[in-house]
Chain A
């Protein structure tokens, strides 16, 4: 399945990209994050991250589907 990943803040800096489309076999969000963390050297553990799917906050246990847009939201600092 094809999934688009959006990167923000420190994850954008670490990956060097705003977004990318990946071909995945595993629909697990945690597996995807662990893979990307290893590939790009993300320092944040998954429990510091909130996943978002298709522009909404989601749950780590949600299975990804073809065409989904995923973002891993690092700790926020508005205000």
Chain B
């Protein structure tokens, strides 16, 4: 499976061996920021429908490899309680050339945000709690 969930810190290095045909690797790191829609976040938890998240996330990465002609790609997403500044998701894309690597990395994170069943529950400084809705940019 090329998509995984973890409740541990996500590793910096790609979770796959780098083949000699790889000319470029692009990675994306999504972090928990302190503001969402203008509200100050004090606490945040991700939850997931694990079986479907892994299969849907892997389907997306597999499709990216075929669509962009990549050598390899993977993504890992955190679940559980996170603090401001924690890495919530990483995507790694290895390709022969940088063009398809940049394009595929963006495509994968956009697709993951749009359809992988992961939810974000935020607590704000005023005590309000909210299920964050939508897969807008950022």
Contact = CB atoms under 8 A, between A and B. Distances in A.
- Judge: A and B partners, yes or no: yes
A73 B116 CA distance: 10
B49 A8 contact: yes
Chain A, interface residues (CB within 8 Å), range: 10 to 19
Interface in A2-61: 6, 8-10, 13, 52, 55-57
Interface stretch (B19-27, B65-73, B129-137): B129-137
Interface string A52-79: 1001110000000000000101111111
29 contacts: A9-B47, A9-B119, A10-B119, A13-B131, A52-B117, A55-B51, A55-B52, A55-B55, A73-B49, A73-B52, A74-B131, A75-B133, A75-B135, A76-B113, A76-B135, A77-B113, A77-B119, A77-B133, A77-B134, A77-B135, A78-B48, A78-B53, A78-B112, A78-B119, A78-B135, A79-B30, A79-B77, A79-B88, A79-B89
